[in-house]
């Protein structure tokens, strides 16, 4: 008689979804430390914190993402039981517009806020490109003054330096979407009397210009025309502009001159006959003057027509922080690190809710990109300092070990008791090594009777171990010493300071 076979269990794969990843101790610590530095600058500039929901209605979010060919217009969306559509936020600006519209009677005007947290985009993932990433934003809502845009640019420059990007390794580039609209009007793809006319073509033009650094002039020109096929074989439809129309747009992208005044002069030539374009150039000139008045030279903040920003809600000045130092890509080729932050003016976003125009401007820092840049510069490491580990020599004396840990913690020292199987002492030290622990505390029955403990400098011990050949040398090593039980906190603190090179 055949035996009954148990059905095969289909176990889930222990893998994150495509385009997502996990972050461990050191990485989380680095991010939190950098966020504190960023928000310190934001706070110093007078911005207040705001924490809004990670989920918004699709109606409230709107459709402004650059990658409109993806499902759900680039957002992760689902339908609730009441058939309302909701989505994970794709940035921190669209939720701000909803919050301001909802609480505008209670908020000061202008309202200055900063926010930080993860955002989600349903876009094609790639190397270093994830569908969930952190942003840290600052926005001013309720001011139409170009001084608000200039202030955001100054704050962005100060923030980059605060987190460790040296002056000379970055530049904040400033442009104006009004100038680009003027160029499009001259090129014949914008009708001021019918904004919806040529909307699809303009969207493709914006995305094409935004990819100048990655695709180069030839790649952008292809997208302005019929389209292009990338290295993977994927084909992207172009805007269908004629050669003459493309020449006007390319002239705009090549308008950068030796200084801001010369660049603005060239831009004014390109937008002749367009009122909106002329207004945009005048605003750029004002920003340049305000920057100079505050002592920000073109080496830190510069007028650059190549910046357009991909999101469709920008209506005026736009800015982007670019890191100028070189790195090696995955193929070993030198290239500039690129953009880590961007933003601009979006005077129509709140209007979607209120029917009234509410001017607003703001910036968003790509936290993960900025962390990667700091690692490239060697400004941060990837390892987190672990806790002091109190080892367990006698199971029935757990109270003594917990008392040691409490003393260390109360003194501000990170510490823990080993909670695994204490039978094998070597495994306890291996655990401490894996935790990157600076010090291990050891107290057996003999030490308890004599009122002493052993403390072991694990970092120094690891370095010496490779050089020690005899038991006598091991006993004599300075990495481990016996101390009075009452001196535990002071001696552990001194050993940690020595390991960190502070004593």
Which residues 6+ apart lie within 8 Å of 431 measured at CB?
Answer: 389, 418, 420
DSSP structure string for 97-165: HHHHHHHTTTS-SSEEEEEEEEEE-----BTTB-SEEEEEEEEEES---HHHHHHHHHHHHHHHHHHT-
Q: What's the predicted TM-score (pTM) here?
A: 0.81
What CATH number has the domain bearing residue 472? 3.40.50.800
pLDDT value at position 71?
43
- Is 209 found in the same domain as 77? yes
pLDDT value at position 1?
55
Q: How many CB atoms lie within 10 A of CB 439?
A: 26
pLDDT value at position 269?
93
- Is 452 found in the same domain as 340? no
Task: Assess if residue 333 is contained within a domain.
Answer: yes
- Is 409 found in the same domain as 361? no
Give the chain's length: 503
pLDDT tens digits for 206-229? 788 878 778 888 889 999 999 998
Residue among 155, 179, 151, 196 at smallest CA distance from 316: 179
Domain boundary residue, one of 376, 405, 423: 376
Residue among 324, 325, 320, 277 at smallest CA distance from 301: 320
Query: What residues make up the domain containing 343?
Result: 25-376
Our count of domains for the chain comes to 2
Task: Assess if residue 96 is contained within a domain.
Answer: yes
Task: Assess if residue 169 is contained within a domain.
Answer: yes
- Is 196 found in the same domain as 126? yes
Low-confidence ranges of the chain (pLDDT < 70): 1-3, 63-73, 310-312, 328-332, 381-384, 461-478, 501-503
- Is 76 found in the same domain as 160? yes
Task: Assess if residue 435 is contained within a domain.
Answer: yes
Task: Assess if residue 171 is contained within a domain.
Answer: yes
- Contact status, residue 130 vs residue 368, Cβ threshold 8 Å: yes
Task: Assess if residue 381 is contained within a domain.
Answer: no
- Is 111 found in the same domain as 191? yes
Domain boundary residue, one of 376, 404, 420: 376
pLDDT value at position 129?
81
Task: Assess if residue 245 is contained within a domain.
Answer: yes
- Is 169 found in the same domain as 282? yes
pLDDT tens digits for 230-273? 877 788 889 889 998 998 889 888 899 888 889 999 999 999 99
- Is 347 found in the same domain as 447? no
Domain boundary residue, one of 355, 376, 397: 376
- Is 39 found in the same domain as 115? yes
Task: Assess if residue 19 is contained within a domain.
Answer: no
- Is 240 found in the same domain as 100? yes
> Is residue 367 helix, strand or coil?
helix
pLDDT value at position 160?
97
- Is 271 found in the same domain as 198? yes
- Is 471 found in the same domain as 410? yes
> Is residue 464 helix, strand or coil?
helix
What CATH number has the domain bearing residue 305? 3.30.930.10
């Amino acid at each position: 008689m055949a035996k009954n076979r148990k059905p095969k269990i289909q176990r889930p794969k222990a893998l994150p979804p495509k385009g997502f990843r996990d972050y461990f101790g050191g990485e989380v610590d680095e991010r939190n430390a950098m966020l504190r530095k960023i928000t310190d600058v934001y706070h110093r500039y007078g911005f207040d914190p705001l924490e809004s929901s990670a989920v918004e209605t699709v109606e409230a979010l709107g459709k402004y993402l650059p990658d409109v060919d993806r499902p759900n217009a680039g957002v992760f969306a689902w339908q609730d039981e009441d058939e309302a559509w909701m989505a994970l936020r794709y940035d921190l600006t669209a939720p701000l517009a909803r919050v301001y519209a909802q609480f505008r009677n209670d908020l000061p005007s202008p309202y200055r806020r900063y926010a930080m947290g993860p955002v989600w985009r349903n876009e094609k993932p790639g190397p270093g490109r994830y569908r969930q990433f952190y942003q840290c934003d600052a926005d001013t809502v309720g001011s139409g003054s170009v001084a608000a845009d200039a202030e955001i640019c100054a704050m962005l420059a100060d923030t980059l330096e605060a987190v460790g990007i040296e002056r000379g390794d970055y530049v904040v580039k400033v442009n104006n979407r009004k100038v680009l609209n003027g160029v499009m009007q001259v090129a014949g793809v914008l009708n001021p009397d019918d904004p919806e006319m040529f909307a699809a073509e303009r969207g493709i033009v914006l995305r094409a210009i935004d990819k100048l650094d990655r695709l180069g002039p030839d790649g952008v020109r292809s997208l302005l025309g019929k389209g292009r096929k990338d290295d993977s074989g994927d084909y992207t439809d172009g805007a269908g502009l004629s050669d003459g129309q493309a020449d006007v747009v390319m002239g705009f992208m090549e308008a950068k001159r030796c200084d801001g005044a010369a660049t603005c002069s060239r831009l004014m030539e390109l937008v002749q006959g367009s009122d909106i374009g002329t207004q945009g150039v005048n605003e750029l000139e004002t920003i340049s003057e305000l920057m100079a008045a505050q002592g920000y030279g073109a080496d830190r903040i510069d007028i650059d027509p190549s910046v357009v920003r991909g999101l469709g809600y920008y209506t005026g000045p736009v800015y982007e922080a670019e890191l100028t130092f070189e790195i090696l890509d995955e193929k070993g080729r030198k290239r500039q690190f690129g953009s880590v932050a961007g933003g601009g003016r979006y005077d129509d976003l709140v209007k979607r809710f209120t029917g009234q125009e509410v001017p607003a401007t703001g910036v968003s820092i790509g936290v993960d990109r900025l962390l990667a840049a700091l690692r490239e510069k060697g400004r941060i490491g990837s390892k987190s300092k672990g806790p002091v580990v109190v080892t367990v020599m006698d199971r029935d004396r757990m109270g003594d070990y917990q008392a040691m840990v409490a003393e260390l913690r109360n003194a501000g020292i990170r510490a823990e008791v080993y909670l695994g199987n204490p039978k094998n002492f070597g495994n306890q030290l291996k655990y401490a090594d894996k935790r990157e622990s600076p010090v291990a505390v050891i107290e057996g029955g003999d030490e308890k009777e004599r009122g002493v403990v052993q403390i072991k400098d694990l970092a120094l011990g690891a370095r010496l171990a490779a050089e020690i050949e005899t038991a006598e040398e091991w006993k004599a090593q300075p990495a481990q010493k016996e101390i009075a039980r009452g001196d535990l906190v002071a001696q552990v603190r001194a050993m940690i300071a020595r390991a960190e090179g502070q004593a």
